[in-house]
Amino acid sequence: MIVNRRVGSEQPDEHDELEQHLVEKLNVPLDWPEDGGLTASHVARIAAAATCDTAYSHAANGHLIDLFAALPLPGTTEGKDFWERIRDAGGSAAWNIHPANMGGPFFDRIHDGNEGGIASRVLSFLEELTPAQRTDLAEVIGSALGNGTIGVSGRYGGELWLRDAEMSAWRVALAGRREFETAQERNQFFEAWRDA
């Protein structure tokens, strides 16, 4: 379900879509619990704030994991051949994502708060590729994608995988910069655009 969520609505008497969803779909009165300190509106605001804060990096990292999960697994016969072909096609850039260099608990580190680790490796990998290497890699990746399960394969499927990985990694990197942004900088941003 996608809802438009305004944090700190300009019209406090109007209920936004998330609040309306809590009422309509979950049968939660907006003043619930009566005489309580925390109401459904408060819960909606907390949920929206948490989503705004974490959605980009968590969702994009999860998507990066899904992209890698669509590829042959390291340690399998098919995976060993696939990852060797990736290394051959991508040259030294491929070491950024090759299991021999990135394997072990690297994906597990996301759970430990290393939100940008995989993203930075994917971005370094793609940045270092020549156009010819990128074309060759698209062919290798596309040949490994299951046409029956994903719907595309071949070079086109590989190109989609590479573009998707690039954009997902970029979203993680972009969301990571927000960790260092202060409330004052956020207000300066809105003021500058308001006064432009």
Mean pLDDT by 10 residues, the chain (196 residues): 42 63 65 63 64 60 88 93 96 93 75 72 95 97 80 88 94 76 81 90
**What is the reported pLDDT for 2?**
39
**What does the pLDDT read at residue 4?**
42
Residues 6+ apart with CB under 8 A from 147: 153, 157
Tokens of 188: 């300066």
Alpha-carbon span 36 to 50, nearest angstrom: 22
Q: Which residues contact 43 (CB under 8 A, 6 or more apart)?
A: 22
Identify the pLDDT of residue 23: 67
Domain ranges of the chain: 57-180
